[in-house]
Structure 1
Amino acid sequence: MNSHLPTEKQQKLKQLMVIFSILLITFVFTFLIAKPTRELSSFELDQQGQKVGSGPTEFRIYNHQVYVAVPSNGHYLIPEADLKTIRMLSDDIATRQIAVDQKHVYCGNMILNNLNPQTVRSIGDGYITDGQVSYYCSQITERNTELSVVKEVWQILLHHTGIGSKPQNYWYPHYQLETSQSPYQLTVQGTVSNGENTYFRGKLVEQANGHTMRYLPSYSGSSDRLRESSYYTADGTHVYYKNQSVPVQDHPQLMVFDFGGGIESEFLHDPKTQNFYYQTSPFSQKYSPYRLLNKDDEHAHDPLFLSQQGIYFFHRKEQKLQRTGDNPFSQKMTQLAPDVFHNGQDTYYLGLYDKYIRSGRGTKLCYRSTVLYRLKNAPVNRWQKIAEVKYGDGRWRAATIWKNGAQYYYFDEFGQGQGFKQAVYQIKDAYALRFILNPSRSSDDIRQYVRRGILLSPQADRLLQAKYDEKFCLSLFWSESE
């Protein structure tokens, strides 16, 4: 018997590979010669389309068809929509993504099953009900996690050739609530309860008392006063991040720090235990208690947390606490100005260091970092505050001026949003000092100081760096150490 002859399984596999290759070549050829499906632009629909209803709406009628805007992926056709009866659910801006016709209720371009379009009404904040069935339809679009990468690629190819419809890679998230005899009522923003079940933005919050729910107070450096947290709530007993339980008991001293103002920028602080939480995760008890060094994001990408064991930051991409270096403030810390500190021996300040590389393909951001600098040649016992830098005819403060020996320093309070990436600058000379002390007409005048060389980076040591990568940059491996 010849062992080299192909087996029956090998022959079938070869046949399948041939068939697959033929189908692939046919599809690629069709894809290349087919006329791509032309997608209507948002400009065409907004300018030439007819709005559905007279109030806030994401729906347009164009060329006898109904379309809806789905931010992050343009407009979608709703082939099931009835032109004669299509209407908005209400004139409330919170329902601008919800439409109704004689047969269906639409959350964006998705049909909400089992709802009676004749009796459906808004509860508030995206919650709707027909008296029996209730839904939540988000006002903000999200990535459709139910659509796999393989399916999305396949649907893109079909749509390109005009064979299939546009892939639903973004949508308005929507959830059906548990059916109940007791009606759902809005308790706090984004939350409904019927006395048995409580939902936060459409998701069940287990064991929550919806009628005692409140948002925790939140501190943000962009505001002079506390506001409500975006995601942390409590009901007198439990604490929640979105709809997930946080392992801490509710009490009046709980505080949220919103660092950066992004979607996942909040940290919860429990003064009783001196611990912090990111989303639902407590910081490691191994290094507690913790103290927050910088509650504002003026000259930092991330908050830095002081412990007797070192300085830490929470790596939000890797979801873990990381040590960045020794804590120079373990015995004493005095704050001179926002993001400027001393420990009785040396002066420290915060700044940003973002690493870019440039090539023929453009500029790429490799990593971002928050740096704690130690100022050189500045004895702690010689600091004198001598003036404030003001603008707007002296109505607003932008910085303070300090003297140390014969040298003058500028302690910035504008922050990175105004182009100041570090908290401390050295004033160039006596002429520059006189120029700075004259009240400026606008914030634009202040921003020019660094560009014009009036303010300089002082001599300082980079003590520690809280860093996270944005993109992989191979050239960093053989470049000088940062």
Structure 2
Amino acid sequence: MLKSIKIRILAIFIIFLILIVVICIYKFRASFLTKEERLQKFRPSTAITGLLGSDGKALFKGESIEKDSFDYFKKLNHKIYFSFPIPLDGYVIPILGADTNSFKTLAQHMQWNKYSDNIKSRNIGLDKNNVYCGDQKIPNLNPKNLSFLGDGYLTDQQHTYFCDWEFKAKSDAIKPNIFEKFDYAIFGTKISQTGYYYPLYKLINGSKPYKLILKNTVTNGESTYIDGLYLKVTQPDQLAYLQTFQPNENIHKENSYTTDKINVFFKNKILDITYHTHLQSIPFNFEIYLYDPKTNYYFYKSNKINYNNLKLINTEDKKSNKPIFSNQDSLFIFNTKKLELEKISKNPFHNSLYTLSPSVLSNGKDIYSINSYNIYSSTLFMFFSRLCSSNLELRVMKNMPIVKWEKFRKISIKNPKYDWEKIQGNVWKYKEDLYYLPENGGILKLHSTESSNRFLNNQITFSEAERLINDKSLFEPVLGRKFAKYREIHNFCFKNYVN
């Protein structure tokens, strides 16, 4: 035991020594080319960066073009500036040639009030001469005849454009090197991206004007575009979303699949599938999957998961960040970056699968719970939210046969302020113990008190229920033993390797 402790202390000391050496090499290696230097070619020479002072307040004091707006456009010293809404930093660029006196936002041009302003138009402005998408001048678009079709589409009847409302970085393809990663992890130095822009696409005009038919989708009967990209569809008047969502899932619809009753599309891509009414769209953590029961194949976005006889074991678990697939032998996660299946464990459900709650399953003998969580960054010198990784765990409680579980009570407690928010789930009895299985995941063992009895009888307020559920002396979390784990890394963080 003592020897093991000494080995651990020695290993920690060696790791710490290596870190010190790496940091010293990085800090004092004068010939080393920094990422900021490598990315200068992407940054406009007129850009103003580093806009936050040491107190976190903005150093750029331009006058807002429009009151009650998001301050994308500003005026300073007879110039118009565009401010990219970048977390933890600022990035402002002058709009070259913009007329200060006549400049206005699209919302002002359309005479919208602050409540009806479309979020997909806040990066669009115009003056007496030109229309602008962010800081870009839109070629040949006449502001005098300007019309807004919706969702980023603009036309002057002669020319039609799509101005994306989500900015991108030209430097996205350049990954940070090892020294930058250590500097970020230890000192919190931001791994910057430069050269921000809003994608701008020109549409082909025809004999008829374009009209918005679905979210982000326009057609003139001859050509159809989604997010500014050409959609090869022969019957645009038939174009519709796949109607497979539950009412509480409609938020996913506009980022889902569409069909013209012949083909199935994800965005502007045609899927290798024939349309029929039994296709199923499945949302997971704002990602959309598709299942075709006729061929027994799944799709992720436009990508066919080319593995037959898969089954989805957590279809109803809307809190999971990933779907878990199974075949006779194994459990899999689909890696959305590599676009391939990755095995995470053997399949404990190859003989039978029972559902106690959306995230609690049984194979008849053992109980398995699905737990999803994210890890966020923190450093020695500063704290801020940067997503390090998304994690999914499958945990097991051995030798708890399903035949001894009895559904005891249904829980449903509404929030009086928000009708859509509820504390709900089911209470199950196993032998002499009660377990609360909330619909949003987890297993909580109930300890009998006057308060927990009122909870069981739905005789408790929403706020009190929230407080009680977080009291571990009354609702004891049951984790079980780790059976399988999958981690998707989004950014380099030491926490990814020590948790």
- 1:188 — aligned with what? 214
Which stretch has the larger CA shift, 391-400 or 226-235?
Answer: 391-400
Please give the root-mean-square deviation of Cα atoms over the aligned residues, in Å.
4.0
Decide whether the 8 Å contact of 1:388 with 1:397 is kept in 2: no
- 1:425 — aligned with what? 444
How far apart in 2 are the matches of 1:75 and 1:359?
28
- Change in 2 beyond 3 A, CA 1:362/1:453: farther
Match status 1:125 vs 2:151:
yes
Match status 1:311 vs 2:311:
no
3-state SS of 2:140 partner: coil
Decide whether the 8 Å contact of 2:370 with 2:393 is kept in 1: yes
How far apart in 1 are the matches of 2:275 and 2:146?
37
Decide whether the 8 Å contact of 1:273 with 1:289 is kept in 2: no
Decide whether the 8 Å contact of 2:435 with 2:443 is kept in 1: yes
How far apart in 2 are the matches of 1:356 and 1:119?
48
- 2:393 — aligned with what? 371
Decide whether the 8 Å contact of 1:101 with 1:117 is kept in 2: yes
1:302 deviates by: 1.0
1:311 deviates by: 1.8
- 1:64 — aligned with what? 78
1:138 deviates by: 1.6
Structure 2, unaligned stretches of length 5 or more?
A: 1-29, 38-46, 111-116, 177-192
The residue identity in structure 2 corresponding to 1:399 is: G
Match status 1:260 vs 2:285:
yes
- 2:180 — aligned with what? none
- 1:157 — aligned with what? none
How far apart in 2 are the matches of 1:241 and 1:371?
29
- Show CA shifts across 1:304-325 (max 9, x none): 1232232221122332211222
Decide whether the 8 Å contact of 1:307 with 1:327 is kept in 2: yes
- Show CA shifts across 1:377-422 (max 9, x none): 5232111222234445999543322111122212122x2xxxxxx5
Structure 1, unaligned stretches of length 5 or more?
A: 1-20, 29-35, 151-166, 416-421
TM-score by length of 2: 0.71
How far apart in 2 are the matches of 1:393 and 1:147?
45
Decide whether the 8 Å contact of 1:77 with 1:109 is kept in 2: yes
The residue identity in structure 2 corresponding to 1:434 is: N
The residue identity in structure 1 corresponding to 2:160 is: S
**Which is higher, the Rg of structure 1 or of structure 2?**
1
- 2:255 — aligned with what? 230
- Show CA shifts across 1:210-245 (max 9, x none): 32221223547x926786241422222222211222
Match status 1:274 vs 2:293:
no
3-state SS of 1:381 partner: helix
3-state SS of 2:469 partner: helix
**What does 1:73-472 align with in structure 2 at a 5 Å threshold?**
73-89=90-106, 90-91=109-110, 93=118, 94-144=120-170, 169-207=195-233, 209-217=235-243, 219=245, 223=248, 228-261=253-286, 265-285=287-307, 287-298=308-319, 300-352=320-372, 360=380, 367-392=389-414, 396-413=422-439, 415=440, 422-428=441-447, 433-434=452-453, 436-437=455-456, 439-443=459-463, 445-458=465-478, 460-470=480-490
Identical aligned pairs, as a percentage? 25
- Change in 2 beyond 3 A, CA 1:473/1:144: closer
Decide whether the 8 Å contact of 2:281 with 2:291 is kept in 1: yes
1:432 deviates by: 7.3
3-state SS of 1:228 partner: helix
3-state SS of 2:403 partner: helix
- Show CA shifts across 1:353-389 (max 9, x none): 6679998567898754322222235232111222234
Decide whether the 8 Å contact of 1:408 with 1:426 is kept in 2: yes
How far apart in 2 are the matches of 1:172 and 1:122?
17
3-state SS of 1:217 partner: coil
How far apart in 2 are the matches of 1:189 and 1:387?
42
1:350 deviates by: 1.6
- Change in 2 beyond 3 A, CA 1:55/1:463: closer
1:122 deviates by: 2.1
Decide whether the 8 Å contact of 2:328 with 2:347 is kept in 1: yes
- Change in 2 beyond 3 A, CA 1:404/1:358: same
Decide whether the 8 Å contact of 1:52 with 1:86 is kept in 2: no
Which stretch has the larger CA shift, 388-397 or 368-377?
Answer: 388-397
How far apart in 1 are the matches of 2:251 and 2:104?
40
TM-score by length of 1: 0.73
Decide whether the 8 Å contact of 1:133 with 1:179 is kept in 2: yes
- Show CA shifts across 1:51-93 (max 9, x none): 2599998433334322233222544321311123223444262
Decide whether the 8 Å contact of 1:382 with 1:404 is kept in 2: yes
- Change in 2 beyond 3 A, CA 1:133/1:362: closer
How many residues align? The count is: 419
Decide whether the 8 Å contact of 2:364 with 2:401 is kept in 1: no
